[in-house]
Amino acid sequence: MEPTAKLIVITPICSHALNTRSIVLSSEDEIVIEIGPGRNGSREEVYVAFDGADTVSLKTGDKVMVRRSGASTTMIKLSKVSFLETLRGKMKGN
């Protein structure tokens, strides 16, 4: 992803499916994720992590809204190599 693109990226971690990929959305999108019932209609408990930091327990029927924050931050760049140079290097041979 181009570093200046305004995107929301949702990435499943510890997924049980081998083909699970990140979901990339516009920064203007809003989605709601609802925890469904477990097998045989049992009440389910799951854990969600936000930005790899805070972990929250959720139960069947709980909902999480994902949307762009009103706050912003400044990122630092540790390398003088541009994004496109890095991408070009990774794409060699493909």
Overall pTM surpassing 0.85 (yes/no) = no
CB 42 within 8 A of CB 72: no
CB 10 within 8 A of CB 66: yes
- The domain spans of the chain are 7-91
Show the tokens assigned to 14: 């510890």
What per-residue confidence (pLDDT) applies to 28?
94
Report the C-alpha gap between 55 and 67 in whole angstroms.
18
For 23-58, write each residue's pLDDT tens digit.
Answer: 899 999 999 999 998 888 888 888 888 777 788 999
